[in-house]
Amino acid sequence: YNEKPAVPAYLGCCWGLPALHLPGAFRSFENWAGPKCLTIGPPIYLDRPIYQYQYESVRWFDHWLKGEDRGLEDEKPVRVFMVGSGEWKEGDQWPFPETRWTPFNLHNDGWLNEHELFKQDNHTSFEDAPDDHGEVQFWTGGIVEKTEICGPMILNLFAETTAEEVLWFISILHQDADGNETLLTRGWLRGSQRELDLEKSKPWQPYHAHKRRIPVTPREVTEYNIEVRPYGIELQPGEKIGLRIKCADNDKPEHTLQAIALGHLSQSKASKVTIHHSRQYPSNLVLPITKGNRIGTYYSGGILPKP
């Protein structure tokens, strides 16, 4: 990335490809030495040959190859489409400097919120078997105010398994005010590859070394720092964010984009998996809040009274 001479690069993807192009677009933008621009579009499969971005491409080439003034110098280098608002969010850096990295703790009864862990919080278990892949879900209460979530995420998970290996598949879900659920983005990690490169890791984005296998000890509580691919959405009042934890990528895709890099990996033996969420083992999902959620979510549900 950092070799000279510095070559201009226009990088991009859509939110709908967390297991394919999306990670590379952000990684390349972060490490690119030359002039650069990043555009992340809506989660819609582009018509080939990607004519939707023809105007943007011509402007870029006119500027760098012909020396023409196409207004690029007056624009922000980072542009991402915000699902929910249908608008573009722009900035000079990624992640956006105004981001508030907010831990949402996992609680008993499937709650996910900013509240500190209670004394009675303990653990949640599920079975993972070749013919029945269980799961657990944790949900926030309804959002009270318009709230932006935009950026990378991390699940800091304390867990144990009865097996000698564990496969983590993490899904971030959205529920609208009518109860309709949609998959936003995903993350994954093989338990034996949990070792971090501490120099490259960030509080909001772990970087796994992938240099050796560290065995998973059955029935031993272990911490896993799982990267969840970025997303950008504006939540409306009454909407919720959910966290789904599984040990197989056997989800049924809702559309073509979700079918990419899905349905390939699961364990061949049955196991019991336990997610710990206590004061001793405080599992949490760190969300990138870029606007709103000033007073946080409510245990009571966060439903505003009608005027």
Strand-pair category, 181-190 with 284-291: unpaired
User: Mean pLDDT across the chain, nearest whole number?
Assistant: 94
Residues 83 and 186 in one domain: no
Number of domains in the chain: 2
Q: Does 126 lie in the same domain as 36?
A: no
User: Quick check: is 129 in a domain?
Assistant: yes
Domain for residue 276, yes or no?
Answer: yes
Q: What are phi and psi of 126, to 5 degrees?
A: -150, 160
Q: Which of 66, 91, 116 is the last residue of a domain?
A: 91
pLDDT at residue 3 tops 80 = no
Q: Specify whether 195 is located in the same domain as 230.
A: yes
The answer to whether residues 117 and 70 belong to one domain is no
Among 295, 285, 289, smallest CA distance to 139 is for 285
Q: For the purposes of burial, counting CB atoms within 10 Å of the CB of 130, is it exposed (0-12), middle (13-18) or buried (19 or more)?
A: exposed
Find the domain containing 234 and state its range: 100-291
Which pLDDT tens digit goes with each residue over 223-244? 999 999 999 999 999 999 999 9
CA distance 271 to 62: 58
Residue 301 lies in a domain: no
Cα–Cα distance measured from residue 91 to residue 78, given in angstroms and rounded to the nearest whole number: 5
177 and 257 belong to one structural domain: yes
Note whether residue 125 is domain-resident: yes
Looking at the domain assignment, is residue 296 inside a domain?
Answer: no
Describe the chain by its helix, strand, coil percentages, rounded to 5.
15, 40, 50
For 255, phi and psi rounded to 5 degrees? -160, 180
From CA 119, how far away is CA 97, in angstroms rounded?
Answer: 35
Domain boundary among the residues 31, 56, 91 is at 91
CA distance 53 to 292: 31
Domain contains 3: no
Average the pLDDT over each of 33-47, 236-250, 266-280, 293-307 and give the range with the smallest value: 293-307
Alpha helices in the chain (DSSP H): 21-31, 54-66
**Which band of pLDDT confidence, cut at 50, 70 and 90, is reported for residue 251?**
confident
CA 160, CA 274: separation in Å to the nearest integer? 5
Tell me, what's the pLDDT at 5?
64
Are 37 and 141 found together in one domain? Answer: no
| 275 and 154 in a common domain | yes
Does any domain span residue 145? yes
Residues 140 and 52 in one domain: no
Q: Tell me how far apart the alpha carbons of residues 289 and 32 are, in angstroms, rounded to a whole number.
A: 26
Q: What is the CATH number of the domain that holds 185?
A: 2.60.120.260
Same domain for 143 and 250?
yes
pLDDT in tens, 197-221: 999 999 999 999 999 999 999 999 9
Three-class SS state of 73: helix
pLDDT, residue 287, reads 99
Give tens-digit pLDDT for 274-293.
999 999 999 999 999 999 99
132 domain-assigned: yes
**Other C-beta atoms within 10 Å of 186: how many?**
20
Q: Which of 91, 123, 147 is the last residue of a domain?
A: 91
State whether 129 and 33 are in the same domain. no
Q: pTM here?
A: 0.94
- CA 227 – CA 248 distance, rounded (Å): 16
Residues 161 and 59 in one domain: no
Which tens digit of pLDDT belongs to each residue from 262-278? 777 888 899 999 999 99
Q: Do residue 37 and residue 174 come from a single domain? A: no
